[in-house]
Amino acid sequence: MLAEAGYPNGFSTRIVTSPTYEGGIAVAQVIQAQLREVGVVATLEQVEWGTYIDRWVKRDFDTMVELRGGDPDPDRFLYRTFHSAGAVNNFLFKDEAVDRLLERGRVNLDPERRKPIYEELQVLLVERAPALFLYTPFETQVLRPGLRGFRVVGNGSLYYLEEAQK
């Protein structure tokens, strides 16, 4: 497959990660091992958080292990990640059809009208593959009886933990 793509001897790449992301180094090591099996030499670059963010902003990486959060509403995550003007579209993905669907999705409030828009968008994103999402981490929360004021957020955030009381 690599030979067909013009890389008969494989190629080299860099994977940037930071120990600040829990599990990020382990994920990068698994990717490195899997790439090695198909002839790609991946060098891991573990950097401290400030350097990681600086390189992310400057787009100074071949590949990067990131942790991206979602939201119960698809607009928040998808627009900022995949719209050509998205705030965290650090891989510079640009696709007019994707932009149009994202724009249509964010102006419709009726879930039944939004659903076919996001279904079509999913198909385009799979076809174009601008990013590779490996897994969704599972977050476990342990609470004690009598805890008041804690609200569960649909994206797993502990945002309201500071409002909790005994």
- Note the pLDDT tens digit of each residue in 65-93: 987 766 778 898 899 999 999 988 888 89
Classify residue 69 as left (phi > 0), alpha (psi -120 to 50) or beta: beta
Task: Quickly state the pLDDT bin for 152 (edges 50, 70, 90).
Answer: low
Q: What is the pTM (predicted TM-score) of this model?
A: 0.70
Of 22-31, 41-50, 67-76, 140-149, where does the model show the most confidence?
Answer: 41-50
- Read off the DSSP letter of residue 154: T
- Read off the DSSP letter of residue 38: T
pLDDT, position 164: 64
Asked if pLDDT for residue 34 goes beyond 70, the answer is yes
Average pLDDT along the chain: 87
Beta strands in 54-144 (DSSP E): 63-64
